[in-house]
Amino acid sequence: MPGRRVVIGVGNEFRRDDGAGPRVVAELTDRLTGVDLRVTDGEPSRLLDLWTGAELAVVIDAVHAPDRPPGAWFELAASDAPEEPSAGTHGVGLGTAVALGRVLRRLPERLVVLAVCGTELGFGAGLTAPVEAAVRPVAARVRELVAPH
């Protein structure tokens, strides 16, 4: 039996593509058993609280990556997570949480970040078409990651 597994969608559904993380979690609701599904705004202490003690934490977050097309997504391990605050769409967020988690020894045993490249991050509801198209493939990757081995 695997240890605690948590999937965390980071973002704000009222900031267009920044809602990618929460949208993936919504896609997974009622499709995963034995997995803790959460949504947060990315504030570092909340992330630490959500993933502390987990065997596996999968974090889905929108990123601003002008060198990649909107809707593209990629996977990072905790060791690859950037520590500078500008990496994501939040002023202070995932990179800071990972750095703080290292110092406080509050990282999960395994942390995987699925970063979805967003383009429209201003006020408004709904993802852009390329980011919406990424939701199902990212959700499928989450299911692969959290499946018991």
Kindly report, residue by residue over 91-148, the tens digit of the pLDDT: 556 777 888 778 888 889 999 999 999 999 899 999 999 999 999 999 999 999 999 8
Counting Cα atoms < 13 Å in the Cβ hemisphere of 1 gives: 4
Q: Give pTM, 2 decimals.
A: 0.88
Instruction: Write down the mean pLDDT value for the chain.
Output: 88
The strand pair at 56-63 and 5-10 is best described as: parallel
Q: Which residues contact 129 (CB under 8 A, 6 or more apart)?
A: 71
80 falls in which pLDDT band (50, 70, 90)? low
Q: How many domains does the chain fold into? A: 1
CATH at residue 35: 3.40.50.1450
Domain that holds residue 51: 5-146
